[in-house]
Amino acid sequence: MLKPVSLQVEYKNNPIGMDEITPRFFYRLEGNGGEQLARRLTVALADGTPVWDSGWVDSGITIQIPYSGPALRPFTDYRWQVSVRDDRGDVSESAEARFETGFMGTPWQGKWISSHCASGDSLMHGVQQLFRDFEVPEDLVSARLYAAALGLYEARLNGENITEDIFAPGFTDYYERVQYQAYDITSQLRRGELNALSVNLADGWYCGQIARLWSQGNPTFGGFPCFIGELHLRRRNGETIVIATDEDFKSIYYGFAPLRHSDIYAGERAEAWRDDTTWRLPGTERSHVCPVTIAKPKVRITWQSGAPVRRMHEIKPKEIIRRPGNTWIIDFGQNFTGRERLRLTNTNHGVTIIIKHGEMLNEDGSLYTENLRSAAAQTIYSCGNHEEEIYEPAFTFYGFRYLEINGWPGNRPPIRSPHSPVTAICRKPVRSAAPIRCSISCIPTSSGVSAAISSTFPPTVRSAMNGSAGPAIPRSLPILRPTTCTRRNSTPSGSPT
DSSP letter, residue 87: T
The residues, any chain, with a CB within 8 Å of residue 150's CB and separated by 6 or more, are 112, 174, 178, 206, 207, 221, 222, 225, 226, 227, 297, 299
Out of 1.10.1740.10, 2.60.120.470, 3.10.20.600, 2.60.120.260, which CATH number does the structure's domain 112-306 have? 2.60.120.260
pLDDT mean values, one per 10 residues, the chain (497 residues): 95 97 97 90 97 97 97 98 94 97 97 79 82 97 98 96 94 94 98 97 89 68 91 96 97 86 90 85 89 94 93 85 87 89 80 92 91 86 83 91 84 56 55 40 28 35 47 42 48 41
101 exposure class (CB count in 10 Å sphere: 0-12, 13-18, 19+) = buried
Largest CA distance in the chain: 77
Q: Which CATH number fits domain 3-100: 3.40.190.10, 1.10.10.10, 1.10.3720.10, 2.60.40.10?
A: 2.60.40.10
Give the number of other Cβ atoms within 10 Å of residue 45's Cβ.
Answer: 13
Which of 110, 265, 266 is CA-nearest to residue 199? Answer: 110
pLDDT of residue 475: 37
Separate counts of helices (H) and strands (E) for the chain: 3, 35
pLDDT value of residue 214? 66
Q: What is the pLDDT of residue 220?
A: 73
What is the CATH superfamily name and number for domain 310-427? Answer: Galactose-binding domain-like (2.60.120.260)
The predicted pLDDT at position 221 comes to 83
How far, in Å, CA of 17 to CA of 222, rounded?
Answer: 27
With beta carbons less than 8 A apart as the criterion, state whether 422 and 405 touch. no
pLDDT of residue 152: 97
Can 3-100 and 310-427 be said to share one CATH topology?
Answer: no
- What pTM was estimated for this model as a whole? 0.86
pLDDT for 141-160, tens place per residue?
999 999 999 999 999 999 99
203 three-class SS: coil
What contacts 110, CB < 8 A, 6 or more positions away?
Answer: 146, 228, 229, 230, 244, 245, 246
The answer to whether 137 touches 54, Cβ cutoff 8 Å, is no
Contact 414, 328 (CB under 8 A): yes
212 touches 123 (CB < 8 A): no
Listed by start position, the domains of the chain span: 3-100, 112-306, 310-427
The radius of gyration computed from the CA coordinates of the chain, to the nearest angstrom, equals 25
